[in-house]
Copies of this chain bind each other. A is one copy, B any other.
Amino acid sequence: MGQRLTEPVITDLMARALADPAMLSLAAGFTDNTQLPKSLVGQAVAGLTAPESDPETLQYGTNAGRTGLREAVCRIVSRHEGEDASRITPEQVFLAQGSQQALYLSMQVLCEPGDIILVEEPTYFVFMEMLQGLGLEARSIPYSPDTGIDFGKLEQLFLEMQSTGEWARVRAVYIEGYFSNPSSRSQPASAKSGLANFLRERNAILPIIEDAAYRDLYFEKPWSAMSTLSMPEFDGFPVLYLGTFDKPFASGLKSGFGICNHQEWRDNMLFAKGHQDFGSSNFVQALIERVVSTDAYDAHVAAVRAHYQGKAFQVQAILEAEGLADVGWQWEPPSGGLYFWLKGPEGFDTSIGSDFCEACLANKVLYVPGDLCLAGGQPRNCVRLSYGVLLGAKLDEAVRRFVRTATAG
């Protein structure tokens, strides 16, 4: 509590994009307006508001959300290969204002100012802003390109944090197992089980938050690793799995969910939610419940996947054709999600106010500086590009502007 004076960076970036019509934004994590399910939503609401329908959908619902939708959430998550449906039950599910609210609630009830959360390297920058607003700190779990997590460096971090007393202030671990924002990386099963073993060996049975917002936005195939909810290695760990209907369906509905296998943690989140809003929109939940009960939902998500895959190919083609690699930039093409994570040459600076950032603004293209996604604010030579919003020639042009700015120096 108390005054929070940090303006979220995302708000500022969105405002800049809106203020200048010539600006092309590769920054915002918005989805593509052409893929929004107007007719599915229209049909669902027509059903909900038909003369013979029960008006209860326009009445207050419950704090945790509609039973039918909580059951549907379990079906949607459990059908991923490897998931253990017996561990994913409707009582564990609660609906929220996007998965963002569930994430906020999780932090509110676990942490006191000064506490520390372990995050990936890089991690979701809006989460880091939230931590800052709540007076919390983040530390990066060291990344390894080969194994997902560099356990040698993690051991070093652990020893350092233990010696400074910081380890005792670690309250939770936040990972994005599937097509992460911003890196589009997924965690190998071995990295997740390794993490569980690492923590257990150090008697650190910490709450695990697995944010799976982009899990359904895979391209060729789903990511193979099961979630931490189902992995036996995480037995005994409190796990909160976060999902959303915003990214695969309609961000304008602002509906997400948490699945939490730890009753006290879940109860506390729901008590706090009871104070914040005593339940998310019952009508929005009823609408989604109706849509996900049909095959049309799966067909819609499949089409969305193919669409983003096409746009990712398009971005990759321009990055290659324009010669970004020739000036020392590195990246892996995504296999799902909405983002490219690019690493500039050693010592290059992409942060807000840097020459490169100013040059991109002058050339009318926006990106998210990578340092915002890194718990230590280092290195400063990375960039997140989103292909969510822009289409066709505008997407081409935006990526071209970016690469030409990068290659001009």
Contact = CB atoms under 8 A, between A and B. Distances in A.
Interface of A: 1-8, 10-11, 14, 30-31, 33-34, 36-39, 41-42, 45-46, 48-51, 53, 55-63, 97-98, 100-101, 104, 107-109, 111-113, 126, 129-130, 133-134, 246, 250-255, 267-268, 271-272, 274-284, 286
Contact of A98 (B36, B37, B277): B277
A276 B104 contact: yes
A36 B55 contact: yes
Nearest to A130: B275
Nearest to A7: B271
Contact of A254 (B100, B129, B281): B281
B4 A109 contact: yes
A134 B31 CA distance: 35
**Could you say which of A1, A4, A51 has the most chain B C-beta atoms within 10 Å of its C-beta?**
A1
User: How many identical subunits does the complex contain?
Assistant: 2
Contact of A97 (B11, B50, B57, B276): B276
Contacts of A48: 38, 42
A8 B271 contact: yes
Given A4-B272, A97-B97, A252-B282, A277 B59 contact: no
A57 B276 contact: no
B280 A97 contact: yes
A45 B41 CA distance: 8
Contact of A1 (B51, B97, B113, B282): B113
Contacts of A100: 276-278
A307 B164 CA distance: 66
Nearest to A49: B42
Given A10-B274, A251-B282, 9 more contacts: A38-B53, A38-B55, A60-B252, A97-B277, A126-B275, A129-B274, A253-B283, A254-B283, A281-B281
Given A45-B45, A55-B34, A58-B38, A6 B250 contact: no
Given A50-B42, A100-B277, A58 B3 contact: no
Contacts of A57: 252
Contacts of A267: 5, 7
A253 to B, nearest CB: 5
**Could you say which of A55, A253, A276 has the most chain B C-beta atoms within 10 Å of its C-beta?**
A276
A378 to B, nearest CB: 24
9 contacts: A5-B268, A5-B271, A38-B48, A41-B283, A60-B246, A98-B278, A126-B278, A133-B275, A254-B282
A253 B109 contact: no
A124 B105 CA distance: 23
A91 B107 CA distance: 30
Given A46-B42, A46-B46, A50-B42, A3 B109 contact: yes
Contacts of A107: 1
A274 B8 contact: yes
B4 A268 contact: yes
A244 to B, nearest CB: 12
A237 to B, nearest CB: 19
A104 B274 CA distance: 10
Nearest to A98: B277
A58 B4 CA distance: 30
A64 to B, nearest CB: 9
A68 to B, nearest CB: 14
A8 B45 contact: no
A277 B101 contact: yes
Given A11-B274, A101-B276, A133-B271, A60 B1 contact: no
Contacts of A286: 252
Nearest to A57: B252
Contacts of A129: 274-275
